Structure 1
Amino acid sequence: MIKLYTCYTKEYPKWEMSRSVTQYHILLVITRGKVIYWVGDDSVLLQKGDVIFIPAGSVRGGTSLEEHQRYATHFTLEDSDRQLLPLLTENRYCKTAISGFDYFKQRFMLLKHHWLMKGPYSDTACYAILLELLGIINYERDKWKLPAKKLEMAEDMKVYLLEHYKESVTLDDLARLTGRTPNHASHVFKSVTGLSPIEYLHHVRIAKAKELMFDKMMTISDIAEETGFCDQAYFNRVFRKVTGCSPTAFMKGRID
């Protein structure tokens, strides 16, 4: 089973690390700024939206090019875990950009929350979330193998959902947009993004809701309506599913 040894978010005005061998697998996410990471003989530029997986036993180091913020976790794997993803069997680093970056960050924050909480089911929750994050990295790395037509169709649907997230969007709307059947449009979207259209729409809405929660003049009911939810109870359920906490807890600053 995957076991976490540390999970953190941190800002670095200046950072430098000499080359050394890592005893843990490392997952590193850059959320602001730029750094150079050295992995073996390679120099890897990392900037906002980039993620790197570095397997245990790698020689790594690095230096910042400017002030930056990172999310990171160090973990170990059992041999049985390696068979779950090609990424884990290849024993080499992988750097990629994440297209659904806001969702990836939300899941990482939930990973950190469960790791810090140390509850009775925290190990299981951490295992599931970290495996999902590694799966997303593997998926993003291999996405170039998909046909260009599928990528274009999925991008059109993503743009539509981003522009119409306040409205009641249905699969029929996406079918009309793409000129395909609802089932085909949904299948293409998930094959490219890893999420169904409704899951993606939920994450877009919740990301916007989190932004609005910093406006103390808005109530949870107002935010639910502003982000396209039909009622507050439904909003509460989706918010908890996506973030791992209730809207009230988030607004009180307990999690994020």
Structure 2
Amino acid sequence: MEKIDYNVYILVVKGRVNYSINDKRIVGEKGDLLYIPSETVRSGKNHASGAHQKYTVAFTLAESGEKTATFPIKHHFHHIKAKNPEYVKHRMERLFVDSRGDRKFQSYICNGILQELLGMFARELESPAITPSKVKYAAIIEQYLLKNYRRPIEIEQLAKLINRSSSYTISVFKEVMGQSPIKYIHQLRISEACNLLLNTAMTVAAISDYLGYYDPSYFSRMFKKLTSMSPKEFAVYGHQLDISRHDFK
């Protein structure tokens, strides 16, 4: 146990972790976001179920920052389930990369990413709770997309999985995941495209066909839309992006 003199923002990405927050026991699970403010007495350790993985951002605020209404989060412990943990994960990876070394405009960029993360957290704190049934529906759809993202997928197919209308299917997935099923499919495909461009000798046309785009020009447009780079540019410079290479917009 120790009293910390900095703020901590955490995303749990695997397993479970035990925390003691001011003598209160907390269990963080995959997909959980935790905000631990400075002056908190806390400790942490692995859960009995095994090891865990998490992304942790530690930061301090200027004196005026904690005393004005500009800081979006009340200064006490918060624990919520992330609506879009993959996006939070990508932004934390981007923050990690930009915080290393001595890059130009480093402080400006890192502060911007941190402000985005905290703003998203504050917004989710104020959002109405999502019902368990909606979370279940979104999970069913997500698992199907993870297994079948290379195939042509129609919204009607997804609607049949949960026995709901197409409009409701889109709405509930977007509410829980923060994006439409179609955009999620594109992100899965482009994520795999990044891996293939960096780690195989496959051509852009072959990758396009493999991922179910069939039209290389459309694939290239979608790739650039999500990564800000063309597939050929990414193949050349992608290694320099390190773990941030999946930082999709």
User: Could you say which TM-score interval applies, normalised by the shorter chain?
Assistant: 0.5 to 0.7
Does structure 2 conserve the Cα–Cα contact (< 8 Å) formed by 1:202 and 1:238?
no
Alignment of 1:197-208 (within 5 A): 197-208=181-192
1:180 and 2:169 aligned? no
- Sort the Cα spacing of 1:174 and 1:212 in 2 relative to 1 into closer, same or farther, 3 A: same
Superposed displacement of residue 109, structure 1: 0.8
Give structure 1 stretches of 5+ with no counterpart. 1-18
1:254 and 2:241 aligned? yes
Structure 2 CA distance for aligned equivalents of residues 149 and 61 of structure 1: 34
Structure 1 CA distance for aligned equivalents of residues 137 and 53 of structure 2: 33
Amino acid at match of 1:82: F
Of the three residues 89, 113, 117, the one matched with 2:97 is: 113
RMSD of Structure 2 on Structure 1 (CA): 3.8
Counterpart residue number, 2:176: 192
Amino acid at match of 2:221: Y
Does structure 2 conserve the Cα–Cα contact (< 8 Å) formed by 1:27 and 1:51?
yes
Percent identical residues: 25
Does structure 2 conserve the Cα–Cα contact (< 8 Å) formed by 1:53 and 1:94?
yes
> What is the DSSP-based 3-state SS (H/G/I as helix, E as strand, rest coil) of the residue aligned with 1:145?
coil
Structure 2 CA distance for aligned equivalents of residues 51 and 156 of structure 1: 22
Amino acid at match of 2:235: T
Of the three residues 45, 48, 56, the one matched with 1:72 is: 56
Counterpart residue number, 2:246: none
1:223 and 2:210 aligned? no
Counterpart residue number, 2:223: 236
Alignment of 1:6-25 (within 5 A): 19-25=1-7
Of the three residues 32, 35, 39, the one matched with 1:53 is: 35
Structure 2 CA distance for aligned equivalents of residues 206 and 72 of structure 1: 26
1:82 and 2:71 aligned? yes
Amino acid at match of 2:18: I
- Sort the Cα spacing of 1:209 and 1:135 in 2 relative to 1 into closer, same or farther, 3 A: farther
Superposed displacement of residue 128, structure 1: 4.8
- Sort the Cα spacing of 1:49 and 1:158 in 2 relative to 1 into closer, same or farther, 3 A: closer
Cα distance per residue 1:116-175 (max 9 Å; x no partner): 37443x555445543444455567778883344533443343234333311344556545
TM-score (structure 1 length as normaliser): 0.66
Cα distance per residue 1:45-65 (max 9 Å; x no partner): 446544422112212233456
Superposed displacement of residue 26, structure 1: 0.8
Amino acid at match of 2:183: E
Cα distance per residue 1:76-132 (max 9 Å; x no partner): 45334434xxxx12x322334546444432221122233337443x55544554344
Counterpart residue number, 2:146: 162
1:43 and 2:30 aligned? no
- Sort the Cα spacing of 1:157 and 1:48 in 2 relative to 1 into closer, same or farther, 3 A: closer
TM-score (structure 2 length as normaliser): 0.68
Give structure 2 stretches of 5+ with no counterpart. 244-249
- Sort the Cα spacing of 1:234 and 1:213 in 2 relative to 1 into closer, same or farther, 3 A: same
- Sort the Cα spacing of 1:179 and 1:70 in 2 relative to 1 into closer, same or farther, 3 A: closer
Structure 1 CA distance for aligned equivalents of residues 16 and 132 of structure 2: 30
Structure 1 CA distance for aligned equivalents of residues 222 and 135 of structure 2: 30
